[in-house]
Amino acid sequence: MQENHQSYRRTVEFKPGARNLFFHILTACNLSCRHCYINKDQHGGNMLNMEDIRTWLRVFHGGRVEETNVIFLGGEPTLHPQLPEAVRAARELGYSSVTIDTNGFLFHDLLVRLSPAELDYLSFSLDGSCPQVNDSIRGEGVFDVCTRNIQRAVRAGFAVSSIFTVSRMNLGDLPNMPALLHGLGVRRFFIQVVGIRGNSGRMTKCTQGVELQVARRDWENVVPEVARHAASLGIHVTFPKVFLDVSEPFQCAGLVADNYFVFPNGRVYRCPLCEDYAIHSMEICDGELRKRPPITERELFPLNIPEGCVFNRILQPGNISYDASGVPVNKIACCMLKEEIVPLPKN
């Protein structure tokens, strides 16, 4: 188990010219996860047909020679019977990388109908190292199904990654994840911070709701150390920066990066924090991408405030601490700003 890879840590800078398409091809799901961010009232309940998928993929690639990446999402994207055809359409159009994010159930014989060469990563959501933790969040029996299908995917030759969404429900179990993922053959580990939108947003508004977000001290005491441990086992780890010191500069991805969060009702957001609200910058109409008139998220991106991210200040102000004079003691980073710990090959 003790591979002891050397590693290096870096902040992943926003890359001008790179484009990331987070493509929700449906919102239906077989699970009802407690922290799911999908909001059908805002995102629609339809499943895109293959003609629309091809058209929308063309819209966001547009024959670009720069790096363009697509992540197929849901709901549960493997519920779409034509997902393999969608993956191939993205490849034909020249997308640089193609990823599928799945809850692990792998409907419609996905591993049979796709080859490992057609997909860069098959990414499984797993929010605990054991059924007791994972299934309390994602549903009874999910851990066993997900881990079994991770093993099937690894045996079939797919590059497999795993996503863990950190909240107060599972932070204490995060240190157990590296050993599990190493044993399963997972190559990349994405640690995410829970977003207060969709189901988790409704939970926090309820008088009996659970406070889900993790305090800065707890995040910084646990997450980087877990990432280092995973990297020592040869797993490439990505996690959000989340907190900035007051002296660190704040950058908004909405101003300096090309990220598009696309939903089947045609809404196109540039910031995922806004997805519970009808303030999307763009929409797809008749196969064309169109800017929406103000006021949208776009007009708020340039606001420069001491707290860092303006959307966090508006929507999740409990993340920010102030001193006795009312000055923030930390800033909240853009949610798209990531750090990586990358294992080096062993000599």
Mention every residue, 6+ apart, whose C-beta is less than 8 A from residue 41: none
Confidence of residue 220 (pLDDT cuts 50, 70, 90): very high
Nearest CA to 59 among 225, 235, 281, 288?
288
Nearest CA to 248 among 303, 308, 300?
308
Structure-token pair, residue 236: 């490439």
Residue 170 domain flag: yes
Residue 153 domain flag: yes
What whole-number distance in Å separates Cα of residue 116 and Cα of residue 98? 11
Residue 302 domain flag: no
Q: Is the pLDDT of residue 196 over 70?
A: no
Residue 262 domain flag: no
Domain residues for 42? 7-250+331-343
* CATH number for the domain that contains residue 336: 3.20.20.70
Q: Is the pLDDT of residue 143 over 90?
A: yes
DSSP 239: E
Structural domains of the chain, count: 1
Residue 79 domain flag: yes
Residue 237 domain flag: yes
Residue 305 domain flag: no
Residue 202 domain flag: yes
What φ, ψ does residue 12 adopt, rounded to 5°?
A: -85, 105
Task: Supply the pLDDT for residue 64.
Answer: 80
Q: What is the pLDDT of residues 16-30, one digit of tens each?
A: 888 999 999 999 999
Q: What is the pLDDT of residues 107-141, one digit of tens each?
A: 999 999 999 999 999 999 999 999 999 999 999 99
Mention every residue, 6+ apart, whose C-beta is less than 8 A from residue 127: 33, 35, 133, 134, 137, 138, 164, 165, 169, 170
What whole-number distance in Å separates Cα of residue 178 and Cα of residue 42? 36
- CA distances 298 to 44, 226, 257, 264, 269, Å, are 22, 35, 13, 21, 9
